[in-house]
Amino acid sequence: MKIAFISTFYPFRGGIAQFNANLYEELKKKHEVVSFTFTRQYPNFLFPGKTQYVTPEDKAIPIDSIPILDSINPFSYFKTAKRIAKEKPDIVITRYWISYLAPSLGMVAKLLRRRGFKVIAILDNVIPHESKFFDKPCAKWFLKHTDGCISMSKSVEKDMLSLRKDVRHTLSPHPLYNHFGEKIDPILAKSKLGINSSKRTLLFFGLIRDYKGLDLLIDAMNYLDNDYQLLIAGESYGSFEKYDQQINSIQKPDRVKIFNRYIEDEEVPIFFSSSDVCILPYKSATQSGITAIAYHLDVPLIATRTGGLSEAIEEPGTGLMVPEISSQSIAETIMKFFTIDRKFFIDNIQKQKELLTWENFSNDLINLVKSL
């Protein structure tokens, strides 16, 4: 089968590009895959991070993709569709994760379907965490121009069906990332980060945005004694000042270690190996790529009961769910976690590793294609 894959690829960085690279590599084992990417993904003034591009420290998979789509140049939409059509693919795969890209990716899909090509969309988010009035119309318009969709959580599937009920679809969980390297000795990892090796270590990892509830986790430290320490590792999309003020107001603020920056791929095993548990105190969620990293590095999770987090964590028994989205409830769940033998969670993570493979996701995707 010949596949055209239009999304974000190297040299762009981040979870979407990492996911696409892993899936591309898996699909290439049995199919001919041609990848297309952006010449401009986001204008710099709309991108809140420091850089959209891979740095020398990243362990990015250098996919040989064709840069052609400019998200804000409508002329490039027609050029992209024409170039993809030239390949005469059996199927076109794209991704949907943000309303901003609905016009560009949606128009490319629309133009290709006019030419008789089938389009499959992998859905990360249909309705964003921090939703705006235009999100539903954008998603509905994009979905209108697809022949099939693959969701990675039941909550995303539900959002999709609320906007388009007649689309062929399937559900397949987020596979595990495997390009970060292996876990290292916890004592060595903690020494590299300069943190206390005797404390129970909690990890908040990934891009820092309001919906992710870091403020709740910081406040939860007021309910935890000096045996606990918190690692905050990730780049803040917006000012970190409010979190700094909050940390300074808690009991023993030196228990919180801050790495407010993009965490390079080679550093990821150090943070997870240092930690007893990864905390997802999200106020809203669909699914989280952080679970895929945590499982790869054998770290259990504690998460609020929102979106698809419960089906990813509670159902397979790889961590605990917080019953209420509050600081006190987060703290109580953390204390409960440390009364349970950690081996119970690790054993269940090992079982998940056998299921959440790129091969299985690829097979689900191809089966969806064959059903069209």
pLDDT, tens only, 15-29: 899 999 999 999 999
Other C-beta atoms lying within 10 Å of the C-beta of residue 8: 26
Q: What is the pLDDT of residue 285?
A: 72
**151/293 same-domain check:** no
Q: How confident is the model at residue 299 (pLDDT cuts 50, 70, 90)?
A: very high
Q: Report yes or no: 240 and 268 within 8 Å, Cβ to Cβ.
A: no
pLDDT at residue 121 greater than cutoff 80: yes
- C-alpha to C-alpha distances, 182 to 50, 176, 211, 214, nearest whole angstrom: 27, 13, 30, 27
Give the least confident one: 32-36, 38-42, 223-227: 38-42
Q: What is the pLDDT of residue 112?
A: 98
Alpha carbons 346 and 47: distance in angstroms, whole number:
37
Alpha carbons 336 and 237: distance in angstroms, whole number:
31
**351/362 same-domain check:** no
**132/45 same-domain check:** yes
Q: How confident is the model at residue 335 (pLDDT cuts 50, 70, 90)?
A: very high
CA torsion through residues 364, 284, 12, 103, sign: positive
- CATH number for the domain including 225? 3.40.50.2000
* Burial (CB count within 10 angstroms: exposed 0-12, middle 13-18, buried 19+), residue 339: exposed
> Is the residue at 147 inside a domain?
yes
**109/191 same-domain check:** no
- CATH number for the domain including 74? 3.40.50.11930
Separate counts of helices (H) and strands (E) for the chain: 14, 13
> Is the residue at 226 inside a domain?
yes
Domain count, the chain: 2
**148/167 same-domain check:** yes
Q: What is the pLDDT of residue 57?
A: 67
Per-residue pLDDT, averaged over 348-365, amounts to 95
Q: Report yes or no: 344 and 302 within 8 Å, Cβ to Cβ.
A: no
Terminus-to-terminus CA distance in the chain, angstroms?
A: 14
Average pLDDT over all residues of the chain: 93
Question: What's the pLDDT tens digit per position in 187-212?
Answer: 999 999 999 999 999 999 998 989 99
Classify each residue of 181-209 as buried b or exposed e, where b means 16 or more C-beta atoms within 10 Å of its C-beta. Answer: eebeeeeebbeebebeeeebbbbbbbbbb
Give the least confident one: 43-47, 108-112, 204-208: 43-47
> Is the residue at 139 inside a domain?
yes
Give the least confident one: 40-49, 75-84, 98-107, 196-205: 40-49
**305/362 same-domain check:** no
High-pLDDT (> 70) share of the chain, %: 95
Q: What is the pLDDT of residue 228?
A: 97
Q: Report yes or no: 321 and 304 within 8 Å, Cβ to Cβ.
A: yes
**28/151 same-domain check:** yes
> Is the residue at 37 inside a domain?
yes
> Is the residue at 88 inside a domain?
yes
CA torsion through residues 241, 243, 245, 247, sign: negative
Per-residue pLDDT, averaged over 338-356, amounts to 95
- C-alpha to C-alpha distances, 47 to 11, 52, 255, nearest whole angstrom: 16, 8, 31
- Read off the tokens for 351: 């079982």
Alpha carbons 37 and 35: distance in angstroms, whole number:
7
Q: What is the pLDDT of residue 59?
A: 67
Range of the domain at 306: 186-355
Q: What is the pLDDT of residue 293?
A: 93
Q: What is the pLDDT of residue 127?
A: 85
Query: Hey, which of 176-180, 307-311, 315-319 has the most confident mean pLDDT?
Result: 315-319
Per-residue pLDDT, averaged over 52-63, amounts to 74
pLDDT at residue 354 greater than cutoff 70: yes
**195/340 same-domain check:** yes
The residue ranking higher by pLDDT, 129 or 163, is: 163
**199/158 same-domain check:** no
- Read off the tokens for 133: 């009035």
**52/152 same-domain check:** yes
Query: Hey, which of 113-122, 178-187, 205-214 has the most confident mean pLDDT?
Result: 113-122
> Is the residue at 181 inside a domain?
no
> Is the residue at 75 inside a domain?
yes
Q: What is the pLDDT of residue 289?
A: 83
Alpha carbons 220 and 331: distance in angstroms, whole number:
5
**162/236 same-domain check:** no
Alpha carbons 44 and 369: distance in angstroms, whole number:
36
**321/255 same-domain check:** yes
Q: What is the pLDDT of residue 48?
A: 60
Alpha carbons 206 and 233: distance in angstroms, whole number:
6
Q: Report yes or no: 134 and 100 within 8 Å, Cβ to Cβ.
A: no
Q: What is the pLDDT of residue 47?
A: 63
Cα–Cα–Cα angle for 49, 182, 65, nearest 5°? 50
Q: What is the pLDDT of residue 52?
A: 76
Other C-beta atoms lying within 10 Å of the C-beta of residue 83: 18
Question: What's the pLDDT tens digit per position in 250-291?
Answer: 989 999 999 999 898 889 999 999 999 999 999 987 667 899
> Is the residue at 159 inside a domain?
yes
Q: What is the pLDDT of residue 328?
A: 98
- Within the chain, what is the greatest distance between any pair of CA atoms? 64
